[in-house]
Amino acid sequence: MVDGTGAPARTADVAVDGGVVVEVGVVSERGRREIDADGALVTPGFVDMHTHYDGQATWDSRLQPSAAHGVTTVVMGNCGVGFAPVRERDRDRLVELMEGVEELPGSVLNEGLPWTWETFEEYLDVLDARRYDVDVAAQVCHAPLRVYVMGQRGADREAATAEDIAEMARLAAAGIEAGALGFSTSRTLNHRSSRGDIAPTKYAEREELVEIARAIGATGRGVLQVVTDFDDHDAEIETMLEMMRASGRPLSLSLGQTTPGAGYRRTLRAIERARDEGLLMTAGVPVRAIGVLIDLEGSVNPWRTTATFRTGADLRDPEVKRRILAEMHELGAVTPTEIKARFVRRFDAIFEMGEHPDYEPATEDSVGARAAREGRAPEDLLYDILLEGPAYQPVQNYFGGNLDAAGEMLSHPYAVPSLSDGGAHVGTVCDVSFPTTLLSHWVRDRTRGPRFELEWAVSRHTRATAAAVGLTDRGLLVPGAKGDLNVIDFERLAATKPTVVADLPAGGRRVMQGAQGYLHTLNSGVEVYADGEPTGELPGRLVRGGRIRSVAAAT
């Protein structure tokens, strides 16, 4: 058993009763249900603090693919985008924003969202009436809040008046009082609607953010979450510091290696200075590279623009292959100047995905390097690879051709694993397997650099992530903690090859990725997955922030 505290692994029984861990050690009393975990690894359930299940949670009881990777709690409402509060006239605007920012098809959202709410409190009530395979927590999102209060002026990113700010602050605090875990905002140009409009929150002035934070602080609870481009690094950091000073609340900042070099260290140093000031600032960092899947059924399909592909011809026919590749060259889609090839233009950074993907591939295994050794055009080799499954292209956190930068950020004392984006980017990315990668790659398999200790890695995705969002009742296997746990065959633990399935509303497609090695996953002591398959049990509930118990060992 690795209990999440960081203490050494030990052999122990774990007894759960009434959804809570009641005993750890040698438990002599018999249980109504007993699991023989001899030879396995037992951990707390993983807490994923950065997901976007805001829509899916209103129509789906199984928050896959996260649940397949030992996750027992998801926190959604990140990056300032969500679906409440909302007036009827603004529903399409929020759909377009989520479609653009988080790549959730508008057709899926339009069919799936029931829109049985207006206020954020009503949205929470809708979630509270549902049952899930994992626990779900929500945050107040800045973009819908701004549009709700300011209307078109908010969507157009106009400066908020004092009255606007006061009303946003009041509603944000009311959302926290109703059970939201926190408040999130986005300050990045990467976040645009499907029409190309910049997110309403990008240029929100410091006063707006600070006064919202101040109102949240007056509730005595809640966390803050920010993603930013750092257009002016020092000014952005100062805005976040002022938000924390005004509110006294913790703040998490999304951080990755977005350009070559170690620019992220500047932000880590700023976080250290904030901590020296007594401000609880934390970096949420990816476990591996942020990459895209290149797939014939996904959003990034290099052949999609060709006339022959669109006819539905047999792709395994050599003549069809010849025509498609010829048409690609005519279109210029394999050159860096063609926007449709923005993810398919550096063959030295594209890799085949095997049955158990390698998320730290070596350059010599790239499509470009393999094609050169075989005396083939790289697009010819890529074509054959895509017939059998997806290829993978790391985009961020991989500028050195390895995960050293990711490892440096992960190992920082004020950083926690984050940014899985579960429920989002359904056609290009599937990073919900971060917990599986953290244990299998960083603890057990890595050969291209240092590895992490098992106990430390488990604690970072359980106790540390839970604490970062104020969930002090879980992430540990100690008496009094919530009875969420995994039983894992550690030697077999691995993420499997992503596949595309059409199981969303309106027949929408999404990338799904499973895992092997999770023998049992329990939520509140109820087994929800056995050997990766659902048991039919749905003990998961909405987690309201104001009702969270505290566990002494968590503090």
Find the Cα–Cα–Cα–Cα dihedral 348, 349, 355, 359, rounded to 10°: 130
Confidence (pLDDT) at 552:
54
Confidence (pLDDT) at 548:
85
pTM of the full structure: 0.95
Do residues 290 and 434 lie in contact, with contact meaning Cβ atoms separated by under 8 Å? no
Mean pLDDT of 281-289: 98
Please determine, for residue 545, whether its predicted confidence score (pLDDT) is greater than 80. yes
Confidence (pLDDT) at 339:
37
367 SS3 class: helix
The rounded distance, in Å, linking the Cα atoms of 7 and 23 is 17
- What residues does each domain of the chain span? 13-252+263-279+466-554, 294-391
The rounded distance, in Å, linking the Cα atoms of 186 and 218 is 23
Confidence (pLDDT) at 134:
98
79: left (phi over 0), alpha (psi -120 to 50) or beta: left
Confidence (pLDDT) at 332:
67
The rounded distance, in Å, linking the Cα atoms of 140 and 78 is 9
Confidence (pLDDT) at 305:
87
Confidence of residue 171 (pLDDT cuts 50, 70, 90): very high
Confidence (pLDDT) at 345:
62
Mean pLDDT of 114-120: 98
Rg, C-alpha atoms of the chain: 23
Please determine, for residue 249, whether its predicted confidence score (pLDDT) is greater than 80. yes
Confidence (pLDDT) at 553:
46
Residue type, 196: G
Mean pLDDT of 82-94: 98
Mean pLDDT of 313-330: 94
Residue type, 144: P
Q: Convert the pLDDT of each residue in 406-462 to its tens digit.
A: 999 999 999 999 999 999 999 998 899 999 999 999 999 999 999 999 999 999 999
Confidence (pLDDT) at 346:
86
Over pLDDT 70: what percentage of the chain?
Answer: 97
Over pLDDT 90: what percentage of the chain?
Answer: 92
Q: What is the mean pLDDT of the chain?
A: 95
- Flag the least confident range among 228-237, 283-292, 340-349, 350-359: 340-349
CATH hierarchy code of domain 13-252+263-279+466-554: 3.20.20.140
Q: Convert the pLDDT of each residue in 512-528 to its tens digit.
A: 999 999 999 999 999 99
Confidence (pLDDT) at 328:
87
